[in-house]
Chains A and B, each alone.
Chain A
Amino acid sequence: MSELLQFLVSGVTVGAIYAAVALGFTMIYNASGVVNFAQGEFVVIGGLTAAFLIAMGVPVFLAAVLAVVAGTVVGILLYRLAIRPAREAPLVSLIIITIGASIFLRGAMQMVFDKQIHRYDGFSGETPLRFAGATILPQSLWIIFGSFAVFVFLAWFMSRTRAGRGIRATASNRLAAALVGINTRWAMNLSFALSAAVGALAGVLSTPVTFTSYDVGVLIALKGFSATMLGGVGSPQGALVGGLLIGLIESLTAGYISSDYKDAAAFIVILVVLFVRPEGLFGKKLTERV
């Protein structure tokens, strides 16, 4: 029983990270229709930047803020230098561009940082808390509440603020949005910035538990994709639920089946979703604009 509880705890922890990554995807997808394969790199940029700043003696919370800023800047640069110049490009070109950007960022991180695996101490110490026979790291609570806070913030931002409504209007019809005076270009910049910030924050929070290195971005992106697809593409609630489910499936696989193949769980989920219910749990029936 306590064993199961332990797996559930670690599943929810990593699940919260995948949920944050999936929320980042959803943000960019809803605003621009682009599936951003470089989403995992934002997580790594956040984690590595924080790790290096902390190693240099920068106070933890300042390092965390700077790491999120670094991720955000990269997100805006990605939009301005790679996505916007190729606007109106066919879908296949956009896939290649974001994949290329993700590989480029991976190489850049290898240059700027190094090839080692990094971590730093949790924000509230390393002493595990005990309850009902299971242990939980204080950092896990940071991750879970952090992801939930991101979800609540994004929900509030998108529905209650002028800027958020601008993004939604741009997403549903760019021309119409521009005609009623919304600065659509700014809305696109903002959605990439927010999405990158969410990714970088996930990296900052998760690195003490999951560790990070320059080359894990693609795997994180894949987990985020499976979360998105399980929950339903385009749905923020779906991203949250999908992320938690993927985390739980993964940790139960590692616990009861084989820890060698825990990363395979995410892929199996993608295949099952595609075979059985392509629109995911919360998604609308998939239709394509022609």
Chain B
Amino acid sequence: MNPALRTFLILAALVVAGALIFPSSYYYRVGTLVWINTLAVTGIVVLLGYVGLVSLGHAGFFAIGAYATAILPSYGVPSVLAAILGAAGAGLLAAIVGRPILRLSGYYLAIATLGLGMLIWMVLSKEAWLTGGPDGMTVMGANARDLFKLVGLNLRSAESWYWVTGTFAVLGAVLAVNLGNSPWGRALRAIHDSDVAASSLGIDVAKAKSMAFTISAVYAAVAGALLALANGYITPEVGGFMHSVEMVTMAVLGGAASVFGALVGALILTALPQVLTVFADYEHMILGAVMVLTMILMRRGLVPALVDLAKRRRK
């Protein structure tokens, strides 16, 4: 079966299955978070899994999407347009910043994005007249309920956001799989194996890296816009360093090479804090340990490791 179609069917089935078994609005809200995180982490998969680059400031792009969606409607811009502008802005910033950095070794992107993320977070926390400062701000505007009312469905707010974010996650995953199997995606994988070998094959390495970085920034920004709309409230912490780390950890844990890794990582690290009440106290230690241990024990992540295990058993 075509890999994009397979991805679509599996993820769509999971979205529907969630809706069938969830007993209350609370579950829908957690499910919504899982899909938003899956979408953001799919962007990390394009960057980390396909090309092998680490960004430590993706929460910054996430926050640009979220805050554009929160701020622009008060200047008369409709929510949907605001979200699109936010995503475009994040992509533009990534393209401008990425190009000179990506000519250099992979360390430089990690360092520069670490700084960029902190800068964005700083602006969001200090410019209180625009962003509400550390207390955050409410997000006015679109509710997904209205969308479903148009077609005569009367859903609860939490349910309707679950469907909208699920749809975005599925579409994002299909797009990423298609990108990965296109000639351009194969060029990215060649770069992953060796910059020098790829460029000797005629691939413009800096340009391909910069495009992957831009695309992954847009993924993060769209996820941020969805979070702003679904939550109705955002704080600068969506752009904080720990949120960047969380995204990378999700990708690393699930397996950065595939969108299913993104889903599994997002699912585990979103659900865990809900189940484990002490998670908040040990959040740093857990995330840190997950990163180190995954890299040492199963470098490709959980999904590839489980697939290998299943194959070995069948033999």
Q: Are B282 and A92 in contact (CB under 8 A)?
A: no
Q: Are A219 and B118 in contact (CB under 8 A)?
A: yes
Q: Are A222 and B106 in contact (CB under 8 A)?
A: no
Contacts of A99 in B (CB 8 A): 54, 56, 110, 245, 248, 291
Interface residues of A in 82-110 (CB under 8 A from B): 82, 85-86, 89-93, 95-97, 99-108, 110
User: Is A153's CB within 8 Å of the partner chain B?
Assistant: no
Q: Are A270 and B115 in contact (CB under 8 A)?
A: yes
Q: Are B48 and A92 in contact (CB under 8 A)?
A: yes
Tell me, in angstroms, the Cα distance from A270 to B242 when the chains sit together.
Answer: 21
Q: Are B107 and A35 in contact (CB under 8 A)?
A: yes
Q: Contact flags (1/0) for B102-119 with A, using CB distance below 8 Å?
A: 011111101110111011
Report the minimum CB–CB distance from A71 to chain B (whole Å). Answer: 18
Q: Are A93 and B56 in contact (CB under 8 A)?
A: no
Contacts of A42 in B (CB 8 A): none
Pick the most buried of A104, A260, A264: most chain B CB atoms within 10 A of its CB.
A104
Q: Are B291 and A91 in contact (CB under 8 A)?
A: no
Q: Specify the chain A residue showing the minimal Cβ separation from B101.
A: A274
Report the minimum CB–CB distance from B53 to chain A (whole Å). Answer: 7
Contacts of B175 in A (CB 8 A): none
Q: What band does the interface of chain B fall in when counting residues whose beta carbon is under 8 Å from A?
A: 35 or more
Tell me, in angstroms, the Cα distance from A99 to B54 when the chains sit together.
Answer: 11
Pick the most buried of B110, B122, B241, B289: most chain A CB atoms within 10 A of its CB.
B110
Assess A267 versus B282: contact at CB under 8 Å? Given A89-B299, A104-B292: no
Q: Are B290 and A100 in contact (CB under 8 A)?
A: yes
Pick the most buried of B54, B118, B126, B295: most chain A CB atoms within 10 A of its CB.
B295
Q: Are B97 and A263 in contact (CB under 8 A)?
A: no
Q: Contact flags (1/0) for B164-191 with A, using CB distance below 8 Å?
A: 0000000000000000000000000000
User: Is B283's CB within 8 Å of the partner chain A?
Assistant: yes
Cross-chain contact of A103 among B114, B195, B287 (Cβ < 8 A)? B287
User: Is A131's CB within 8 Å of the partner chain B?
Assistant: no
Tell me, in angstroms, the Cα distance from A229 to B100 when the chains sit together.
Answer: 15
Q: Are B284 and A103 in contact (CB under 8 A)?
A: yes
Interface residues of A in 126-154 (CB under 8 A from B): none
Cross-chain contact of A92 among B54, B194, B195 (Cβ < 8 A)? B54
Report the minimum CB–CB distance from B123 to chain A (whole Å). Answer: 8
User: Is A266's CB within 8 Å of the partner chain B?
Assistant: yes
Contacts of A110 in B (CB 8 A): 284
Cross-chain contact of A93 among B107, B196, B284, B295 (Cβ < 8 A)? B295
Cross-chain contact of B112 among A90, A100, A103, A274 (Cβ < 8 A)? A274
Q: Are B52 and A229 in contact (CB under 8 A)?
A: no
Cross-chain contact of B116 among A97, A219, A267 (Cβ < 8 A)? A267
Q: Are B104 and A278 in contact (CB under 8 A)?
A: yes
Say what secondary structure dominates the interface of chain B. helix
Tell me, in angstroms, the Cα distance from A169 to B299 when the chains sit together.
Answer: 30
User: Is B64's CB within 8 Å of the partner chain A?
Assistant: no
Chain A residues within 8 Å of chain B by Cβ, number: 45
Pick the most buried of B285, B288, B296: most chain A CB atoms within 10 A of its CB.
B288
Report the minimum CB–CB distance from A33 to chain B (whole Å). Answer: 10
Q: Are B107 and A97 in contact (CB under 8 A)?
A: no
User: Is B252's CB within 8 Å of the partner chain A?
Assistant: yes
Q: Are B108 and A104 in contact (CB under 8 A)?
A: no
Q: Are A92 and B292 in contact (CB under 8 A)?
A: no
User: Is A286's CB within 8 Å of the partner chain B?
Assistant: yes
Cross-chain contact of A290 among B111, B126, B196, B242 (Cβ < 8 A)? B196
Tell me, in angstroms, the Cα distance from A286 to B195 when the chains sit together.
Answer: 15
User: Is A192's CB within 8 Å of the partner chain B?
Assistant: no
Assess A274 versus B104: contact at CB under 8 Å? Given A96-B54, A99-B56: yes
Q: Are B287 and A100 in contact (CB under 8 A)?
A: yes
Q: Are A106 and B288 in contact (CB under 8 A)?
A: yes
Q: Are A267 and B196 in contact (CB under 8 A)?
A: no
Contacts of A267 in B (CB 8 A): 115-116, 118-119
Assess A82 versus B299: contact at CB under 8 Å? Given A106-B284, A263-B118, A267-B119: no
Tell me, in angstroms, the Cα distance from A290 to B290 when the chains sit together.
Answer: 30
User: Is A3's CB within 8 Å of the partner chain B?
Assistant: no
The interface of chain B, by Cβ under 8 A from chain A, is 48, 52-54, 56, 97, 100-101, 103-108, 110-112, 114-116, 118-119, 122, 126, 194-196, 241-242, 245, 248-249, 252, 282-292, 295-296, 299
The interface of chain A, by Cβ under 8 A from chain B, is 35, 37, 82, 85-86, 89-93, 95-97, 99-108, 110-111, 218-219, 222, 225-226, 229, 260-261, 263-264, 266-267, 270-271, 274-275, 278, 286, 288, 290
CB-CB nearest 8 A-B residue pairs: A100-B291, A104-B288, A107-B284, A107-B285, A267-B115, A103-B288, A100-B292, A100-B288
21 of the cross-chain contacts (CB-CB < 8 Å) are A82-B292, A86-B295, A89-B299, A91-B106, A92-B106, A96-B248, A96-B291, A99-B245, A103-B285, A103-B291, A104-B285, A107-B283, A108-B285, A111-B282, A218-B114, A225-B114, A229-B111, A261-B122, A264-B122, A270-B115, A275-B100
Extra contacts besides A97-B291, A267-B119, A274-B101 (20): CB < 8 Å? A35-B110, A85-B296, A86-B295, A86-B296, A91-B105, A91-B106, A96-B252, A96-B295, A97-B295, A97-B296, A99-B291, A103-B285, A104-B291, A104-B292, A106-B284, A218-B114, A222-B111, A266-B115, A278-B100, A278-B103
